[in-house]
């Protein structure tokens, strides 16, 4: 497993990250229905057994429950684990102290004194200026409570601004976490990927399987019924599923060649872009084992190109 350095000199992490949005979240992911703490504990253990030790969470996931679960599970292992969490720039947070207080609360839930990566969840900051926000994060790097600073959902221009403010403090911007998959490639056409490469910023790709569309589980002929957030997503309706059929077909073809699933091929395509780490959401140990199958092998250049071509409608 070739590990990746976050940004220019941040922590060294796995090329695949475990996403924990569903950990405790009832609103989108029906937490408590078919999965609960026991399944999450098993998923955490399965990740470590597979050699995957990089986890992404946020203070808003499950209203803090996701961080709490991670905190509990971390107490039961001696293995080094890297945690990334996120600060929500909410309207009532408009001082540097509010950033520090939010980090303190996250660290308490995680039962940690320091985390690998602290990210700004959204670019809109209401009454909190980017200068105040980035300087508060730089202060926390100097204090030693975070190893690296990241942003999430930032445009190319917003990323440049954050990078510039941090650079003045001698702190690199390590990460921009964005929606990125074969069915969501707008970050390429919006120059976010090229700007990240230019600035030495690593891309964390959330929804790398497009909420499960790239697993091949959902098709026109499938009896699988979308649940939770997927129920209201038009991509899961008949027309949406017809549109993605050529992509799924190609993923299946390559999957048969390498004895992998369509999902594993889709994740491997993202890793092959270089400087990109997919965040694969999990609820169970089986999800973890499935995602881990994206590691330890590589699509060849021709296959990467074919997938690039067939997914061009989503640029």
CATH number (domain holding residue 126): 3.20.20.100
**pLDDT score for 119:** 98
Is residue 17 domain-resident?
Answer: yes
Which residues on neighbouring strands pair with residue 176, listed in sequence order?
151, 203
In terms of C-beta density within 10 A (0-12 exposed, 13-18 middle, 19 or more buried), how is residue 201 classed?
Answer: buried
**pLDDT score for 236:** 73
Is residue 244 domain-resident?
Answer: no
Helix 262-272 vs helix 285-292: crossing angle, to nearest 10: 50
Q: Report how far residue 171's alpha carbon sits from residue 27's, in angstroms, rounded to the nearest whole number.
A: 36
Is residue 58 domain-resident?
Answer: yes
Residues of the chain short of pLDDT 50, as ranges, are none
Is residue 255 domain-resident?
Answer: no
Number of domains in the chain: 1
**pLDDT score for 228:** 63
Q: What is the set of active-site residues?
A: 61
SS3 assignment, position 300: coil
pTM for the full model? 0.96
Is residue 234 domain-resident?
Answer: no
**pLDDT score for 231:** 65
**pLDDT score for 216:** 87
Which residues on neighbouring strands pair with residue 17, listed in sequence order?
279
Is residue 250 domain-resident?
Answer: no
Range of the domain at 31: 4-215+262-298
């Amino acid at each position: 497993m070739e590990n990746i350095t976050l940004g220019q000199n941040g922590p060294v992490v796995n090329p695949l990250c475990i996403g924990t949005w569903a950990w405790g979240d009832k609103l989108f992911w029906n937490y408590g229905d078919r999965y609960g703490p026991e399944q999450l504990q098993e998923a955490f253990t399965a990740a470590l057994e597979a050699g995957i030790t990089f986890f992404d969470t946020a203070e808003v996931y499950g209203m803090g429950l996701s961080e709490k679960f991670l905190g509990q599970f971390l107490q039961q292992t001696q293995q080094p684990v890297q945690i990334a969490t996120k600060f929500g720039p909410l309207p009532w947070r408009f001082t540097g102290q509010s950033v520090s207080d939010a980090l303190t609360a996250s660290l308490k839930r995680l039962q940690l004194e320091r985390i690998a990566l602290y990210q700004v969840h959204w670019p809109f900051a209401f009454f909190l200026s980017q200068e105040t926000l980035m300087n508060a994060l730089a202060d926390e790097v100097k204090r030693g409570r975070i190893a690296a600073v990241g942003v999430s959902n930032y445009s190319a221009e917003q990323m440049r601004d954050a990078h510039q403010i941090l650079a003045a403090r001698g702190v690199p911007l390590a990460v921009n976490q964005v929606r990125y998959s074969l069915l969501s490639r707008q970050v390429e056409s919006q120059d976010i990927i090229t700007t990240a490469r230019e600035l030495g910023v690593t891309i964390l790709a959330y929804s790398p399987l497009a909420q499960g569309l790239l697993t091949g589980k959902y098709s026109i002929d499938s009896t699988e019924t979308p649940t939770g957030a997927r129920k209201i997503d038009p991509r899961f309706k008949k027309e949406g599923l017809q549109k993605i059929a050529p992509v799924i077909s190609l993923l299946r073809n390559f999957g048969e060649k390498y004895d992998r699933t369509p999902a594993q091929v889709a994740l491997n395509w993202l890793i092959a872009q270089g400087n990109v780490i997919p965040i694969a959401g999990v609820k169970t140990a089986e999800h973890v084992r499935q995602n881990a199958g994206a590691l330890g092998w590589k699509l060849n250049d021709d296959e990467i190109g074919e997938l690039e071509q067939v997914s061009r409608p989503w640029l």
